[in-house]
């Protein structure tokens, strides 16, 4: 699993040790987002939106992840996506498929988390966010250094 280290935090975040990656996995500056959050938007809308609705808003099939991520831990989020989940209720079974074997999802699980967390925190609105200039984006710089 790809986990960001402290090196991926912006200088402002790194100074404030109280803010760890799990609580604020995204950077938003002047309404623009870091590479991870932007990629998370794209990945979410490749795979998850069909059930969870555009922009994480939910649908009749599946819960609004903008609400779920308000108090779900990163570990619970990642485990739910990898393993799936089935609940039975009055209206029948509710099935979240397991994505553990889907590299298009699991390689970018941190990015999908960052995007949904930014949405849950109201740090970004609906629709495709603009990206921070790659030269000023520490998340992009680190991603590129690791290629």
Residues of the shown chain interacting with ligand HEC in the complex, contacts defined by CB under 6 A: 47-48, 50-52, 61-63, 65, 68, 77, 80-81, 85, 87, 94-97, 99, 105, 112
CB of 53 to ligand HEC, least distance (A): 10
CB of 36 to ligand HEC, least distance (A): 14
Nearest residue to 119 (alpha-carbon basis) of 73, 78, 64, 82: 64
**Angle between helix 35-47 and 138-145 (nearest 10):** 80
**Beta-sheet strand order (sheet of 130-131):** 28-29, 32-33, 130-131
Residue closer to ligand HEC by CB (options 10, 47) is: 47
DSSP helix/strand/coil, 85: strand
Residue closer to ligand HEC by CB (options 52, 117) is: 52
CB of 16 to ligand HEC, least distance (A): 27
């Amino acid at each position: 699993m790809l986990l960001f280290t402290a090196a991926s935090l912006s200088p402002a975040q790194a100074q404030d040790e109280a803010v760890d990656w799990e609580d604020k996995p995204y950077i938003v500056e002047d309404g623009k987002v870091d590479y991870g959050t932007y990629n998370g938007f794209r990945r979410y809308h490749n795979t998850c939106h069909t059930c969870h609705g555009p922009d994480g808003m939910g649908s009749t099939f599946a819960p609004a992840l903008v609400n779920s991520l308000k108090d779900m831990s990163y570990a619970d989020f990642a485990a739910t996506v990898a393993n799936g989940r089935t609940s039975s209720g009055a209206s029948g079974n509710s099935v979240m498929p397991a994505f553990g074997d889907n590299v298009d999802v699991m390689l970018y699980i941190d990015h999908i988390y960052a995007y949904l967390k930014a949405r849950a925190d109201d740090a970004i609105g609906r629709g495709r966010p603009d990206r921070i200039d790659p030269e000023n984006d520490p998340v992009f710089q680190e991603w590129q250094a690791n290629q």
